[in-house]
Amino acid sequence: MPQNASKSVAETRFSRQVIALGREAQRRLARAKFALVGVGGIGSYSALLLAQAGAGEIRLIDRDVVEESNLPRQCLFGEESVGKPKAVAAGRVLSKVKGAGTRVLPVFEQFSHGAAEKLLRGVDVVLDCSDNYGARIALNEFCWRKRVPWVYAGAVGFRAMVSAVVPPRTPCFACWTVLENRVEAESCVGRGVFNTTVSQASCVQVQAAVDLVCRGKSELEGKLFFADVRKGFFRVQKLSRRRYCPVCGK
């Protein structure tokens, strides 16, 4: 396809968001590499938004398979996906809705300390959609060491939480969680979750990730966004760095 024709297609497809983001920001987005750790409730929505927006690369990292209980809140899966790897099933759907220049890379593998280097090599921003405390600890330590920005997102019940962690500018994830003691992270398995909650968390997460690559900063750096979608309640809380944090402190 001639270069001018390709440009015309891209400008037509993304014309509305170029007005909002700016032309240079759209070019940066089209070159950016995003990794999603987890392709469940939040991850499926976040992957869809990034693909529709024309992100350069979307790396889908997940070791789980689709279960029937996933279907009410995970937007990339249907009945035909049950029993299949989430990363692979999500990749097939995204290949039909992504921008022409977007690369979707499904990775059927468990995220861990040992695998972090291989799984996240070369990415610009990581989106944490894991719903797993251990994975978040591993992600936080790797990203802080490698100076890779990442965006935390969580959802349980009707509550959504999002924060942008940008080494070395912000407090790290360990600053506002307890590493010295065993922590039982809240989970949608034990406490339930509704689809409006995960979609809310995803929207805020993707905006923070896009801002990091397009503007070089996010309004949620060093802050925790909290929403109760049932009560219609939203707030942003400032986070503080722990002086003796084992990851980012002295």
Q: Looking at the predicted structure, is the pLDDT value of residue 184 above 90?
A: no
For residue 250, is it within any domain? Answer: no
Q: CA-to-CA distance for 70 and 92, rounded, in angstroms?
A: 17
| pLDDT for 144 beyond 80 | yes
Examine residue 82 and state whether it is found in any structural domain, yes or no: yes
Mean pLDDT of the 34-53 span? 97
- In a domain? residue 243: no
DSSP β-bridge partners for residue 227: 160, 234
Query: Mean pLDDT throughout 78-105?
Result: 93
Q: Which of 7-21, 29-43, 185-199, 236-250 has the weakest average pLDDT?
A: 185-199
What's the structural domain count of the chain?
1
Q: What is the pLDDT of residues 97-110, one digit of tens each?
A: 887 789 999 999 99
136 neighbors 42 (Cβ within 8 angstroms):
no
Confidence band (pLDDT; 50, 70, 90) for 190?
Answer: low
What three-state secondary structure class fits 191?
helix
Whether residue 86 lies inside any domain: the answer is: yes
Q: Which domain holds residue 65?
A: 13-238
The pLDDT, as a whole number, for residue 133 is 87
Q: How many CB atoms lie within 10 A of CB 7?
A: 11
CATH number of the domain that residue 125 is part of = 3.40.50.720
Note whether residue 7 is domain-resident.
no
**Who's near 160: CB < 8 A, 6+ residues apart?**
153, 154, 197, 198, 200, 201, 204, 225, 226, 227, 229
User: Tokens for 226?
Assistant: 């909290």
∠169-250-171 over CA atoms, to 5°?
30
Confidence check: pLDDT of 9 > 70: no
Q: Is residue 174 part of a domain?
A: yes
Average pLDDT value over all residues in the chain: 90
Residue 136, token pair as written in the block: 């978040």
Please compute the mean of the pLDDT values over residues 152-159 and round it to a whole number.
95
- Chain segment 156-181, per-residue pLDDT in tens: 999 999 999 999 999 999 998 753 33
pLDDT, position 188: 55
